[in-house]
Amino acid sequence: MLQGPQEAILGGVSTFEIHGQRYYDILYELKGGELGKARVGPEVIYSDPRVGDRVVLHFLMSMVTKVEKTGG
């Protein structure tokens, strides 16, 4: 079970809308090579996420609760 912050690279980003609200489906690769996907709302991700961005994903019980872009 994933817990806490984990470094990752975004491998895919797609958006969709439900009742006018934008959501994101993201594909990621964790620092250790594990692949995963998550669906998040705009309140937990920075604006304009792109494939290749280095990020820190925050997990709670294996669910992504925050996506932060890193400088590196």
pLDDT, position 72:
63
Instruction: Output the pLDDT for position 48.
Output: 94
pLDDT of residue 7: 97
pLDDT at 41 exceeding the cut of 90: yes
The partner residues of 8 in beta bridges, in order of sequence, read 30, 55
Report DSSP letters for 19-66, one per residue.
TTEEEEEEEEEETTS-EEEEEE-GGGB-SS--TT-EEEEEEETTEEEE
- For 21, the domain range is 4-69
Question: What is the per-residue pLDDT across 45-66, written as a single tens digit (0 to 9) for each?
Answer: 999 999 999 999 999 999 999 9
Is the model's pLDDT at 2 over the cut of 90?
Answer: no
Q: How many domains does the chain have?
A: 1
Does residue 49 or residue 2 have the better pLDDT?
Answer: 49
Mean pLDDT of the chain: 95
